[in-house]
Chain A
Amino acid sequence: MRRTTTDTDVLTEEAVETQRPWNVVVWNDPVTPMSVVVVIFKKIFGYSNNKATQLMMTVHHEGRAIVWSGLRERAETYCVKLQVSGLQSTIEQEQ
């Protein structure tokens, strides 16, 4: 028997869609000093020196790093703060 789509199905799909977290991504560039990236991560996210350094090294070696995940509004706010500090950053929804 073919099952028809119900309102509940649609609501559930929408809920899943909005629950998938948004990632803040920082991209590598060839000019920014590494220590500056660490300072910016510590200042904006309050990360420890170790965590900030680890993320900076991921950006350096892999070309990008997800530096924060969560709600879209907060992701946008963090993305703006990173851009205001001169780092290349974007947001993307987790697949």
Chain B
Amino acid sequence: MVGRHRLFVRRRDGRVEVRLNDMGRSVVREAFGHVVAAERDSEHEWHPGLNPPIDPGNDQDDPLATLSRQNDISTNAELAVMTLNEEFLNDAEAWAWLSTLQVALRSTAIANGLLSDEKLASCDEELLHFVNTLQRLLFELAECF
């Protein structure tokens, strides 16, 4: 996946062309799959990263706001999973990819305690590679918006 060509290209017709090879698609598949699983399983290591408080000063977080967040994360992640093998994404699908990749990146960081530059620099190589891959995907997809 990590060639020099662009990974996502916004075409004239408005669609986003996905230029990932099999390895790139497998990274995306893994990330999206974890987000969907974490939303459904409170024991999943990414689950806490998906459910932060809205008002930290209030122990009883707003249940409607929490429900809305969970529904929206699930909807984005499920749409992203459904379009995993597409060559072209429409705007809503591309946004679902961006949101889900970012949720995956943030959840990875929280689950592994990567909450400072120092921690990130000292994490193991495999984890750092996964984080850097998600960052590159996000960086390139953000160029399409």
Binding site for B on A (CB under 8 A): 29-33, 35-36, 38-40, 42-43, 76-77, 79-81, 83-88, 90-92
- Do residues A84 and B69 form an inter-chain contact, with CB atoms below 8 A? yes
Q: Indicate the size class of the contact surface on chain B.
A: 35 or more
CA distance A88 to B54 in the complex (A): 9
Closest 9 CB pairs of A and B: A86-B102, A86-B103, A84-B72, A35-B142, A39-B145, A80-B69, A31-B109, A39-B142, A76-B65
- Do residues B143 and A86 form an inter-chain contact, with CB atoms below 8 A? no
Specify the chain B residue showing the minimal Cβ separation from A88. B52
Q: Which residues of B contact A76 (CB under 8 A)?
A: 54-55, 62, 65
Specify the chain B residue showing the minimal Cβ separation from A91. B55
- Do residues B102 and A35 form an inter-chain contact, with CB atoms below 8 A? no
Q: Which residues of B contact A35 (CB under 8 A)?
A: 139, 142-143
CA distance A24 to B60 in the complex (A): 18
Which of B65, B73, B106 makes the CB contact (< 8 A) with A31?
B106
Given contacts A39-B98, A84-B76, contact A33 B135 (CB under 8 A): yes
CA distance A20 to B9 in the complex (A): 45
The majority secondary structure among interface residues of chain B is helix
Given contacts A39-B98, A43-B145, A80-B68, contact A31 B54 (CB under 8 A): no
- Do residues A30 and B116 form an inter-chain contact, with CB atoms below 8 A? yes
Specify the chain A residue showing the minimal Cβ separation from B139. A33
Q: Which residues of A contact B145 (CB under 8 A)?
A: 39, 42-43
Specify the chain B residue showing the minimal Cβ separation from A35. B142
Asked if B56 lies at the interface with its beta carbon under 8 angstroms from chain A, I say yes
Given contacts A30-B109, A31-B106, A79-B65, contact A85 B54 (CB under 8 A): no
Given contacts A30-B117, A33-B135, contact A92 B142 (CB under 8 A): no
Given contacts A30-B117, A33-B139, A80-B72, contact A86 B99 (CB under 8 A): yes
Q: Which of A86, A87, A88 has the most CB of B within 10 A?
A: A86
Which of A30, A43, A79 makes the CB contact (< 8 A) with B114?
A30
- Do residues B105 and A32 form an inter-chain contact, with CB atoms below 8 A? yes
